[in-house]
Structure 1
């Protein structure tokens, strides 16, 4: 579960801890939202993750989950690489 504010999203773990991620890019594919996030502030190296918006129409806040399927991750990473081709961001798998 996560709450997005500007370029920062706060995820709540199963144990109730808050973890912040920085949003690098977002896109919609087949009416579903995706976020490319990192655990490091701008200008620092960090791990990247792709989150899928699984919110329902009745949800007051956005609900995100990590994309874990390797085939889906590869496909989405290609899309995000194209979206970030003009930005000063280097993505490595």
Structure 2
């Protein structure tokens, strides 16, 4: 995942959080492993959390999930981020 893809991903999750303004809970699934770009995990998670929290959400939980070998992608792991309305 290059820098533009990273920015696009953060932008998409941020837009989803804005669209959820009337709700009390918001969740997002974020890739935490990509065989071609393992470096992206921490920057992506940090940016997504920061952007969503800047919109008035508070990170409530992080749950990793995935499989080391799936039919459609090798080493597909993700993090489910659950946010609660902070205001």
Tell me the TM-score normalised to structure 2 length.
0.35
Tell me the TM-score normalised to structure 1 length.
0.33
